[in-house]
Structure formats: C-alpha cells, structure tokens
Amino acid sequence: MNISDIVFHSPALIVAIPLLGAFLTPLVAKINDKLRNIFAILIALITSVLVAILANDVFSNGIRTYVFGGGEPLVNNSYAIRILFEVDGMNAFMAIIASILTVVAIIYSWTFLKNHTGQDKYYTLILLMIAGMFGMILTGDMFNFFVFLEITSIASCALIAFYTNKGKAIDAGFKYIVISSIGALFILFAIGILYSQYNALNMAVLANSISFSFLDKIALALLISGLAMKAGIVPMHMWLPDAYGRAPSSVTLLLVGATQASLYGIFRITLSIFGKAFNTTGTVLKSATLTGDELIMVSSYPNVISIGWILIILAILTMIIGVLMALKQSNLKRLIAFAALAEIGYMLLGIGVRFASKYSEIVKMNNQEYIQIGFHGYDISALTGSIFHIINDALDIGLLFLVAGAIYIATKETSLNKLGGLARNMKYTTVFFIIGLIAVSGLPPMNGFASKLIIYESTFQLNPIIGIIAILASILLLAVFVKVLHSAFLGPKIPNLKDVKEVPKSMLFAMGIIACIIIIFGLFPNIVIDNIIQPAVNAITNHEAYIRGVFNGI
Amino acid sequence: MLFNFPYIAVVLLILIGLATVIYKRNLIKIVIGITLIESGVNLFLITLAYRKDSIAPIFHGFTASKDNVPFMSLPVPHALTLTSIVIGVAVLALMLTFIIHLYRHYNTLDARKIGREEE
Amino acid sequence: MSIRNVIAAVFFSIVAIFLIFSALMIHPFGPDDNQEKFEMDEYIIQNSQEETGADNAVTGVVFDYRGFDTLGEATVLFTAVAGVMLIFRRLKK
Amino acid sequence: MSGMSKIVKTMTSVAFPLAMIYGLYIIAHGHLTPGGGFQGGAVVASACAMILVSFGSVWTVRKIKEKNLSVLESLGAIGFIGLGFFGLIFGSHFFKNILVGSKNIPIFNEIGQGMSNINTAGFIPLMNFAVGLKVIAGLFAIVLVMAYATRLKEGK
C-alpha cells in the first residue's frame, strides 16, 4: 500500500478508522485504562494525518470522488446508484477544522475526566461523534448525510448528559435530542420530496437536475429549517446554551464542530445543490467582453434575494439575542455558550449577504473549455469572511470553553460570583483566556479580527445598518468577556480559592495547541486565506465544478 | 386530489405528531409525538416506493433475465425506510433513558417543572 | 398565551401549510406508466440480481449498493447502546 | 423482583426456542426473502426480552452481564466494518463485494437465480450475520439495562 493508494482511499478511511476505533474501544478498555486513552489519541492522530494528506491533494489537484463498492460514480453518466464521497475544497477545509478539534478534545479529556466512571463509553462515543462529523462533512449523498447527522446527534446528546448526577445536564441532553431528531426528520422528509421528483439521492446529480419547482422550494425550506434547528439559529436556539453549558468542556469543543457541520450543510445545500437553480434564473443586466473573457452581470432571482434577507434577519436575531443573553449570565459556561450563539450569527450573516446581493457577475472563460463561474464584489467577500469565520469561531469559542473547563477542574466552581483572583495561581490559563478574549471579540492581532473585518466590510456595502449591528454585537462581546476577565481572573483573592493550583500539563498542552493556531492565524491571515480559505470559497461557489466532479468521473 | 390520499394521511400523521411535541407538557407525550412524526416520514418514504400493480422487489421462484423483469415497486425507498426505522429505535431508546433519569431527579414528568432548580 | 405559544403556533401553521401543499403537489400515488422517471430504481431492479447475487433486491440495496448507509445505521444502534450504558452507569468506583 | 408466575415461566421456556429459531431463520435468509440482520435480530432480541419480563431483571442480570453483551455487540460491529475493510484490502474499494462470482473462495460466491439458493450474494449473508449479532446484543443490552435500572427494590 503506497502513498497514492492511501490518498485514493483516504475519504473512506477518514470515516472508517474512527468507526473501527469506536468499535474496538470496548475491547481495548478491557485491558487497561491508559492503553485505551493512548488508543483514542492514536486513532485521532491517524485520522488527522489522513485529513492532511487528503486536504493537500484536494487543494492541489481538485475534486476527488470515492465510490463505496467500486465502479464508476455514475451509471450511464446520468444517475448514481452507489454512495459517493465527493471531496472538494470546502469539504477539505471543514475536515481540517474537525480534525484540529478532534485531536485537542481527546488530549484534553485525558486528565479532565480522570476521576469519573464510564470513561470507556465516553471514548467510544467521542470517536463515534468524530466519525459522524467527518461523515457529514465528506459525504456526497443526501441520505448518507442524514445518517451521519443522526450518529452525531445521538452520540453528542449522550455525551451532553455525561454528568448524570445533575438533573440539568440530563435535561439539556433531552432538549437536544428532541430538537435534533425533529430537525433530522424534517431533513428526511425533504430528502423524500427530492427523491420523488428526481429519483436521485446523490448531491451532484440533484444539483444537476434541480429545477426549483414549488416542491423544491418546500424541500429547501424544510432542509434549511431542519439544519437551523441543529445549528442553533435563533427561533430554535433554546437547546444550545443548555447543551454547551452542561456538557463536559471537551465535549463542548466537539459540539462546536458538530454545529458547524450542520452549518456546512446549509452552505452545501444552498450553494451547491440549489446553486444551479439560484444562478441561472436571473435576468442578464449587462454583458461585456474583457480580454477575451465574456463578462456577464446577472441580477439575482427575486426569491433568492428574499431567502438571503430571511437568513440575514435570522443571523441578526441570533447575534443580538446571543450577546444580550450573554451579558446577564453569571454561569461562566452558559455565558460562553451564548457568545457562541452570537458567533453563529456572523457565519450565517455572510451567506445571507451572499444571497441578498442584488446581482452577481459571471465570467465566461471562452478560451478555456469550460465555463468558470466566479463572483466578484461584496457578496463573494461576505462568503469568504463567513467561511474564514467558521474556523476562527471553532478555535476561539473552543479555547474559551477549554479555559472554562480548566477553571472548573481547578476550583470546582462555575459561577462567576464565586470566582476571583485566579490570575495569580493560574498564569497559563489566564494567558490563554486573554488570547481567546481578544480573538472572540474581533480585535487585532488575533484571527477573529481578520474574518470579522471582512464580514463588516461586505455587510456594510449591502446595508450599513446591518454592518453597524454586527460591529455593535462584537463590541458587546468584548464587554462581556472583559467582565469575565475582571471577575474571575483579576481582583482580590477569594479565601476559598487560596490554594488553587494550575491545571495538569495535558490540559495546558491542549489549550496551547489552539492558542498557537489562533496566534498564527492572527499574524498571517493572508497566508491562511490564500492557502485554505480561498480554495474552499472557490469550491463552494463553483457549483458547476461540483457537478462536473461526479459527471465526468476522475 | 383524492388519489393523493396516502400523502395527505402521511402529512396528517406528521402534523399530529408535531402538535403533540409543541403543545404537550408531558415528556412521554413529547416522545410519542416524535415517534408519530417518525412513523409519518417512514410511511411517506414507503409510499413513494409503490407503483400501480407492482410486486415486491424479490426474485422468488423465477429467474430474471433482462427482458422478463417483472414490474416491481422501487427498492431504494424500502432500503431508506429500513435505515430510518432502526435510527428511530435508537433515538427512542435514548429518549426513554433520559426520561427515566429525569423522573428520578425531579419526580415529575412535567416539562415546566424540570431543569428549573437553582444551583 | 405567552409569546412562546404564539411563536409555536406560527411555526406550526407554516409547517402545516408546507406539508399539505407538498402532499397535494407530489406526483400521484402509485404511478404506473412513466418508467423513464425511475431510472435509478429500474437499473437496480434489472441488475441487482446479477451484480450483488442476492435474490432480494432490497437486501441488495441495503447491504451492497448502499452498504455504507447500513454501516451508519449499525453505528447508530451501537451509539444508542453506548449512550444508554453511559447514562445508566454507576457513578462511584 | 423474582419474575412472574410459574405458568408464564414455563410458557416462556417453551416459546423462547421457537422465537429464537424463527429469528435466526430470518437472519440467515436475509438475501433471499424479506428480512435480514436487523429484522431477525429484533425478533431474537424480543425473545430475550420475553425471558427478561417473565424471569425478572435481577435473575437475568445474574445470568448475563451487560458488559458481555457490550463486547458481543462490538464483535458484531467489528465483523461488519471488517467485511468492508476486506473489500478495500483484497478488492478495489471499501465495501466492494469481492465474493460474488469469485472462483477462489467457494463461500456464498454464486449468483442468485431465483431458486432460493442460499449459497449466493457474497458478503451479504456474512454481513447479515454480523449485523444480526450486533442487533441481538444491542437491543437486549438496552432492554436489560433499562429494566435493571427501573426495577422495583425489595421492600418498596
């Protein structure tokens, strides 16, 4: 088995190896606890290496498909009977995020859960959740997406209720499974509608044959509302603060990843599957020829603009409610959870602006064989900011949750009223918290600044009021976290917390990994955008390439 | 319109389930509502599989060749329904587990009285 | 009537309208003569016996053509068992 | 709780093997008739649940531990994903059904001709067995754990 074989099989192996690891964990756990932890870390590392290999290949060679069971992707070049994984830049980008979160979460949970029972099942479920996340991210089949969505949600709701001695944790888990199973059933119903019309389940085949009929609109509404339930967008956000706040910190880190996998679903469905319907139905405003390339400016379809505005309104509500609720929380983890809600709003805002923009420009490259469709102007930069913000949000919010977990381990306290003066005894944790604070509130020189600036700029061009609301929400986030910094880390020492010790090294190491990535991203955002973000944006906007990736075969 | 009666039955089943989930406060009733939605969706998928005068997609007692394949109902929705039923069982098991634990903690099944205590 | 009930009622009626419209507009129950519409399923009916070797076309789909879904399905059950055991575990060592 | 009356226990003992055989038949003939690993596994698991109901959870837990069921379930799952990996290692793709039509290994290698030949369909019967094992162990473990956790304590 040489390296090209590994690259070829990597889409399947990225999902199959965590699954195999999860199935083996109960057997490995019979031998030794330490061996089990090492085994879990090993599985995560192997998966991450495979993700790196795959991402490298996809960024340099373009879309890669994998057919389960062998054979050509399509029969008679018109319909797919087998399950396909289709990995383009966006999938690879999401897989990179998931792999970072995976490794950090497993390293962090080594000492975080030291004195708890049920760790065998904990590691099994963590690996299953990881497999589900990667499956959601990499799959190219609608029903397969639904199956992995269910794996992720079932594993995560069991993990949310890890502290079974607390009633609120169980309550959070129950809320999450109710919301997520209803959302998943909406998605399944929408898949049924799409299947009845096009007799296809494959995403690329659907994208090729979608006609945006009335039933398609219903299916789109059901898909977006189902995924919005899973992603915690505002009318259906009530599970999110509970679940994020009650779960163990290492699980919350992965929950952030699972939420973003659902957001990725919204991106993929609106931009790729419905991309053809959204982009070919507008009227041509003007056409010009520029250095051999024909440039056409097309007005967006009115329905698309209204979809965009619905998404923008939801995003603004998510941001405002998240920030305002975060201001009045006294429980540290719930506070960070509401901040995470606000951050989800920013990601949704970018895609909303993309659809709400009045026109888009399409470049027809006549000197090349295919038609490349690219977008210029603020809509594409909004999407860039939104996609860049996905990775930044995962890192920033993840780091803050890990710090909250570290504080809980050191002091056994989560209420801000009972904390104070931790900076003297927990130097490293304080430093990590300050890094997370600066990053999450979008201040230079951390990574949050770069992505939020792109979102502000593009949103301001669409409508200045929305841009101002986005900036205000960010300022309020800064206020929230400065309050936390002041009440938990600074100030006089509280007598109960005199002999607080720094957390163990493995937890510091896990936080350090994320902090390093945040600083690197913050110092060199242009390198990151050029190498990771731009391929993802190009891939997600180019629905033609997504369809071609399956239809011509590789 | 009337020939779409199976789909209308499916939608009614889903809506009854959704109304139960939204308006009932008893946790067991919420779970029953989710199960109703799930049955509705499964019924929807299996309804899509049917074609008029078709038989089950099993080659039993005859050898199929390319020219005498009988008129069968669609196999893919059957497969999807099988998968979604098992997923439903898993979700149901987990939800009932949560309810058992919630009842132990709070001694009630009323959703309004659960998770409201001060820490 | 709290604001929560109003939101719930609005949400419910929107979903109800969507679903009823979809039920009325979907293709008639039990289509008979438009075979070209179901190319994927027709292909499976005609070739599953040869390609998978199974007489039961549904099993052919479940375990061969869409075998990865079935792996996911088995994993869902595994996940549920692990979750139930995690929640019912003994808290003290 | 020590289970139900003697009549119920006797009837269960009689009915249990029948239900078991019926379930195993459904598992084994999954590629020929309606059924398969999940359905047959559910039948066998309900037979086990019948034992649980009539003999009581305390008695059943003494006979079979849920940890052993968990191991059994893992083995079933590993068998299933292992067959997928076989396709990757000896064939060309994950989940490639390499046994169908193969000359070298004479297990399940024939192609079905509608005559209900059980030696057909390659990996599908093996996968059915793996899934069946998994479903039996998994569903029984769920029922057992739930029943044991909600049992009525002595004196209450």
Q: For chain B, what are the domain ranges?
A: 2-52+74-113
pLDDT value at A282 more than 60 = no
Cα separation values, A489 from A403, A485, A494, D6, Å: 11, 5, 11, 67
Identify the pLDDT of residue D18.
92
Q: What are phi and psi of A129, to 5 degrees?
A: -65, -40
Give the phi and the psi of residue B73 in degrees, each rounded to 5.
Answer: -75, 165
Chain A contact for D85, CB < 8 A?
Answer: yes
Contact C58 B57 (CB under 8 A): yes
**pLDDT over 70 at B88, yes or no:** yes
Q: Does D71 touch chain A (CB under 8 A)?
A: yes
Residue A293 confidence (pLDDT): 55
The arithmetic mean of pLDDT across residues A490-507, rounded, is: 79
Q: pLDDT digits over B16-27, tens only?
A: 998 998 888 888
For chain A, the straight-line distance linking the first and the last C-alpha, in angstroms and rounded, comes to: 20
Banded model confidence at residue B33, pLDDT cuts 50, 70, 90: very high
Which pLDDT score is estimated for A373?
45
Secondary structure letter of residue A272 according to DSSP = I
Subunits next to C (3 or more Cβ pairs <8 Å) are A, B, D
D115 interaction partners in chain B (CB closer than 8 Å): 61, 63
For chain B, say whether D116 makes contact (Cβ under 8 Å): yes
Contact C43 A82 (CB under 8 A): no
Phi then psi dihedrals of residue A290, to 5 deg = -130, 110
Whether residues B105 and A172 touch (CB distance < 8 A) is answered with no
Report the pLDDT averaged over residues A521-543: 83
Nearest to A169 by CA among A97, A266, A106, A252: A252
| C-beta atoms of A189 and B41 within 8 A | yes
Contact C53 D116 (CB under 8 A): no
pLDDT in tens, A360-414: 555 554 444 334 444 456 777 888 888 888 888 888 888 888 888 888 888 887 8
Q: Which residues of D touch C90 (CB under 8 A)?
A: none
- Residue B108 confidence (pLDDT): 85
A405 and A414 Cβ atoms separated by less than 8 Å: no
Best to test chain B binding among A153, A170, A199 (most B CBs inside 10 Å): A170
H/E stretch holding A214? helix A214-231
Give contacts of D31 with chain C, Cβ < 8 Å: 53-56, 59-60, 63
Contact A20 D93 (CB under 8 A): no
Overall average pLDDT of the C21-36 stretch: 73
pLDDT of residue A486 exceeding 80, the answer is: yes
Cα–Cα distance, A211 to A403 (Å, whole number): 48
pLDDT at A35 over 80: yes
3-state secondary structure of C29: coil
Q: Which residue is it, tokens 């909004």?
A: A382
Best A4, A23, A122 member to test D by mutation, with max D CBs in 10 Å, is A23
**Nearest Cα to A166, choosing from A245, A112, A237?**
A245
Q: Do B119 and A196 touch (CB under 8 A)?
A: no
C92 domain-assigned: no
Q: Phi first, then psi: give them for residue B16, nearest 5 degrees.
A: -60, -45
Q: What is the mean pLDDT of residues D55-66?
A: 82
CA dihedral sign of residues A47, A48, A53, A56 = positive
* The residue to which tokens 């700029």 are assigned: A457
Q: How many CA atoms lie within 13 A of A321 on its CB side?
A: 18
Determine phi and psi for A139, rounding to 5 degrees.
-70, 155
C33 located within any domain: yes
With a CB cutoff of 8 Å and minimum separation 6, the contacts of A546 are A63, A86, A88, A203, A204, A207, A272, A275, A539
Q: Check CB contact under 8 Å for C43 and A125.
A: no
Which residue in D has a C-alpha nearest to residue A121's C-alpha?
D70
User: What gap in Å lies between CA A470 and CA A315, rounded to an integer?
Assistant: 10
Report CA A30 to chain centroid distance, whole Å.
34
D121 CB within 8 Å of a chain C CB: yes
Q: What are the tens digits of pLDDT across the range A377-386? A: 677 788 888 8
User: Would you state the pLDDT for residue B48?
Assistant: 85
Q: What is the pLDDT of residues C35-84, one digit of tens each?
A: 557 778 878 887 777 777 777 888 888 888 888 888 888 899 889 988 88
Compute chain A's Rg from CA coordinates: 23
C-alpha distance from D72 to closest chain A C-alpha (Å): 10
Please enumerate in sequence order all residues whose Cβ is within 8 A of that of C76, keeping only pairs 6 or more positions apart, or say none: A147, A150, A151, A154, B86, B87, B90
For range A266-287, the mean pLDDT: 71
pLDDT value, residue A359: 60
Q: Is residue A200 packed enough to be buried (19+ CB in 10 Å), middle (13-18) or exposed (0-12)?
A: buried
- For residue A66, what are the β-bridge partners? A85
Which residue in chain C is spatially nearest to A124 when comparing CA positions? C82
Band of pLDDT at residue B66, cut at 50, 70 and 90: low
CA A340 vs CA A108, A409, A489, A512, B116: distances in Å: 20, 22, 21, 20, 23
Q: What is the pLDDT of residue D156?
A: 45
CB C57 within 8 A of CB C44: yes
Whether A211 shows a pLDDT value over 50: the answer reads: yes
**DSSP, res D94:** T
Q: How far apart are CA A454 and CA A447, in angstroms?
A: 12
pLDDT of residue A292: 54
Instruction: Report the pLDDT value the prediction gives residue D109, as an integer from 0 to 100.
Output: 66
Q: What is the pLDDT of residues A308-349, one digit of tens each?
A: 888 888 889 888 988 888 888 888 888 888 888 888 888 888
C-alpha closest to that of A99 among A17, A29, A22, A24? A17
More reliable by pLDDT, B73 or B118: B73
What does the pLDDT look like over A115-161, one tens digit per residue? 888 888 888 899 999 999 999 998 888 899 999 999 999 999 888 98
Please state, rounded to an integer, the average pLDDT across all residues of chain A: 83
Instruction: Specify the pLDDT at position B16.
Output: 92
Which chain B residues are closer than 8 Å to A177 by Cβ? Answer: 91, 94-95, 98
Number of structural domains found in chain D: 1
Beta-carbon separation of C72 and A147 below 8 A: yes
In tens, the pLDDT along D103-145 reads 676 666 666 666 667 777 778 888 888 888 888 888 888 888 8
Asked if pLDDT for residue C22 goes beyond 70, the answer is yes
Residue A124 near residue A25 (C-beta atoms within 8 A): yes
What's the confidence (pLDDT) of residue A285? Answer: 55
The CB-side HSE value for A16 (13 A sphere, CA atoms) comes to 25
* pLDDT value, residue D37: 82
> Could you report the predicted ipTM of this complex, rounded to two decimals?
0.92
Give the total number of structural domains in chain C. 1
Residue of C nearest to B102 (CA): C87
> Which residues, other chains included, contact C14 with Cβ-Cβ below 8 Å and sequence gap of 6+?
none
CB proximity list for A133: less than 8 A, separation 6 or greater: A98, A102, A148, A152, A254, A257, A258, A261
- The percent of residues in chain A predicted with pLDDT above 70, rounded, is 91
D105 φψ region: left (φ > 0), alpha (ψ -120 to 50), beta (else): beta
Please say if the pLDDT value at position A271 is more than 80.
yes
CATH of domain B2-52+74-113: 1.10.287.3510
State yes or no: pLDDT of A284 exceeds 60.
Answer: no
Cβ of A148 within 8 Å of Cβ of C72? The answer is yes
Residue D5 at interface with chain A, using a CB cutoff of 8 Å: no
Q: What is the mean pLDDT of residues A215-231?
A: 87
Q: What is the pLDDT of residues A168-180, one digit of tens each?
A: 888 888 889 998 9
Q: Which of A147, A173, A182 sits opposite B34 (nearest CB)?
A: A182
CA-to-CA dists, residue A293 to A362, A373, A544, angstroms:
10, 11, 18
State how far residue D16 is from chain B, nearest Cα, in angstroms.
23
Instruction: Residue B89: list chain D partners with CB under 8 A.
Output: 139
